[in-house]
Structure 1
Amino acid sequence: MNGVFNTPPEIAPQVAEQAVSWLVEMQGGALSPRRQRAWQQWLDAHAEHQRAWDHIQRVNQRLRGLSSPLAHAALNAPQTRTRRQALKLLLLLGAGSAMTYGLREQLPLTPLLADYSSPIGQRRTVNLHDGSQIRLNTGSSVDVRFDAQQRLIRLLDGEVQMTVAQEARPLHVHTAHGVLQPDKARFNLRQFRNRTHIAVFEGRVQLAPQAYPGSPLQLEARQQVSFTPQAWSTPHALDAGSGAWADGILVAAHMRLEDFIAELSRYRRGQLHCDPKVANLLISGTYPIDDTERVLDLLHVSLPVRVKRFTRYWVTVESNV
């Protein structure tokens, strides 16, 4: 079958089940040292285990932006068996081309089905034939549909920067929470699970949340706002680090360490944790997102923390006191 998530055919169902079981166990809380060793032994036992683990990690990350009942079961089911079954189905689900196309709207989470995508830890620039440009951040994907009447771009997952070329055909940019209509604009767009955030650098953008009954919001240059399907926050001025990822930089300005670690984890595979004891420490500076290992190594210079590496794929930032 052709997997909806394009699971490599050499990943056997029993290996996929093992990968899902490990993920479910990790979601239940931190593993004991003995279970960490067991997971690492399983991971190292065969290249197929690594492929399955990488794949289920990608699926799990993209579930956060998905509202389908299947994703809800995978993320929120109170019983381990139910959650495992849902995750396994999302990992192994396969169908013919017609069914896959139909699922694309409900399951907009696989970069392998998207028109353009960027893997975790990498960025990509796409130049469209109308002269527009899309820059994709780590783990991001978009669909592009142009015809004689209109131009349509759909952000499926992650974060992009767009520079829009003006022409006669209107351009609409869809996210999970609303529709944007840019005018000679350059802007940054990031889709979270429950909201979308837009920062406008140049031009103007009209914003219409999916279920908002009133008039659209007009955003001007140097403004940013978050929106849900029902409403938007108060527009405010751009942050100093807005869109800095496009230059390979993560900007922190008195950022909680837990939030900083969460942002840094977007740019690397595996598990990156922050001990609750140091979660509220504040960090400032500019950091290279293309070298997350170096960033982790530098943390102890400015903060009373240490980085504990069980493996490269299992890292915890904890107190050194």
Structure 2
Amino acid sequence: MTRSAKHEDEPGEAAIGWMVELCSGATSERQKRAFASWLAADPRHAEAWAQLQRGLAPCGIAAEQKLPAGRLRQQLVERRPDRRAVLAGLMAALGLGTAGAVVADRFVPLGSLLADHVTRTAEQTHVHLDDGSEVVMAPRTALDIAYAPGRRGVRLIEGEVLLQVASRAAPFRLDAGALSLTAASGRFLIEKRSNSLAATGLEGTGQIAFGTQAASPIGRGERIGLRAGRPDREPVEVEDAAAWLDGLLVAKNRPVAAIVDGLRPYFPGVIRLDPAVAEIRATGVFPLRRPDDALDILGASLNLSVTRVAHYWVAIGPGAPGDARPG
């Protein structure tokens, strides 16, 4: 992408971010004032917002008419537009083709915009539930609340969460695709991404099941995930597994591919990894809130080439033979 093209896309990208905040149902007065300032700062902002509203109802209608959050949620429940249809309308409204959609999706996970709670790239947020439980959402995470009389729970659509279950008589249930976790209390990490489906016990004991398989216990320091379609249990360091809460990725003899996957939710762009270096093992601590620095550290440590194009595109591959670090 050229510098001018990137500049032209900025209002549309910002409009997407504002749409997510204003449709979340929890917008503060400070956020509303900030949005009004952004809207008035540049005519292109107002144009991008108007295009977005026309292409993505009912959120745009609610923003124009200043409907209360409860009414917005009611409209979403009543209409339940298909997520793919919403995405197509959004891209059409912003005039974005495939390349534009890739750029926009790296700021906001567009396929999950209709979830109850969504975090953008590099964003971390806390969700306090009615029963006293709490969920910490990692970047690029989508979550639905699943409360009903006699039942408390959430559904992880994609991403990663820390779940702090408040002690109650009724068990808490988290569903994440084929994975289900139930617990009366405790702290757990759950991850559901394209290449990973797993739960990690941090405190207390729960029950975990995959699909129709029988449930099994999960306790502190245990990670249970799917490998070749079967549950795989392994011990983990609790502090390392939860380090993302403090903005760190702790890697101990992990493949480069796994480290890059851990950085992707924090990087507003595309990272392409050469298969030739994907399985190289590395150990280190990487700053998640500075993914560019983390990639540079990884490249310098392992003699990998890190090539950037317009900031949004990073390619990682083998370094030049003459650049090898002395042993």
Tell me the CA shift for residue 147 of structure 1: 3.3
SS of the residue 1:160 aligns to: strand
Structure 1 counterpart of 2:292? 293
Which residues in structure 2 correspond to 1:1-321 (within 5 Å)?
39-40=1-2, 43-44=5-6, 46-47=8-9, 51=13, 97=76, 100-101=79-80, 103=82, 110-193=111-194, 196-212=197-213, 215-227=214-226, 232-239=230-237, 241-318=240-317, 319-321=319-321
Query: Counterparts of 1:281 and 1:307 in 2: how far apart (Å)?
Result: 15
Identity %, equivalent residues: 25
Contact 1:118 1:138 in 2 (8 A): yes
Shift in alpha-carbon separation, 1:110–1:301, aligned structure 2, 3 A:
closer
Query: Counterparts of 2:281 and 2:195 in 1: how far apart (Å)?
Result: 26
Query: Counterparts of 2:201 and 2:140 in 1: how far apart (Å)?
Result: 22
Tell me the CA shift for residue 271 of structure 1: 1.1
Q: What letter is aligned with 2:290?
A: D
Q: More displaced, 307-316 or 297-306?
A: 297-306
Gaps of 5+ in 2: 18-54, 59-74, 87-108, 322-327
Q: What letter is aligned with 1:119?
A: R
Q: What letter is aligned with 2:146?
A: R
Q: What letter is aligned with 2:248?
A: I
SS of the residue 1:299 aligns to: helix
SS of the residue 2:113 aligns to: coil
Q: More displaced, 137-146 or 158-167?
A: 137-146
Q: What letter is aligned with 1:233?
A: P
Shift in alpha-carbon separation, 1:137–1:238, aligned structure 2, 3 A:
same
Tell me the CA shift for residue 225 of structure 1: 0.5
Q: What letter is aligned with 1:255?
A: R
Structure 2 counterpart of 1:3? none
Post-superposition Cα deviations, 1:195-232, rounded to whole Å, max 9, x if no partner, equal 620001111111232333xx32122222211148x964
Query: Counterparts of 2:201 and 2:110 in 1: how far apart (Å)?
Result: 25
Q: More displaced, 109-118 or 135-144?
A: 109-118
Contact 1:177 1:227 in 2 (8 A): no
Tell me the CA shift for residue 97 of structure 1: 4.0
CA RMSD of aligned residues (A): 3.4
Tell me the CA shift for residue 162 of structure 1: 0.6
Tell me the CA shift for residue 285 of structure 1: 0.6
Contact 2:170 2:184 in 1 (8 A): no
Query: Counterparts of 1:277 and 1:123 in 2: how far apart (Å)?
Result: 32
Query: Counterparts of 2:303 and 2:203 in 1: how far apart (Å)?
Result: 40
Could you tell me the TM-score, scaled by structure 2's length? Answer: 0.64
SS of the residue 1:44 aligns to: helix
Contact 2:221 2:237 in 1 (8 A): no
Q: What letter is aligned with 1:281?
A: I
Contact 1:109 1:157 in 2 (8 A): no
Tell me the CA shift for residue 282 of structure 1: 2.3
Aligned length: 245
Tell me the CA shift for residue 255 of structure 1: 1.9
Q: What letter is aligned with 1:192?
A: R
Q: What letter is aligned with 1:320?
A: A
Shift in alpha-carbon separation, 1:142–1:306, aligned structure 2, 3 A:
same
Query: Counterparts of 2:212 and 2:272 in 1: how far apart (Å)?
Result: 36
Query: Counterparts of 2:234 and 2:257 in 1: how far apart (Å)?
Result: 24
Q: What letter is aligned with 2:142?
A: S
Query: Counterparts of 2:299 and 2:207 in 1: how far apart (Å)?
Result: 44
Query: Counterparts of 1:290 and 1:45 in 2: how far apart (Å)?
Result: 23
Contact 2:205 2:219 in 1 (8 A): yes
Query: Counterparts of 1:205 and 1:231 in 2: how far apart (Å)?
Result: 21
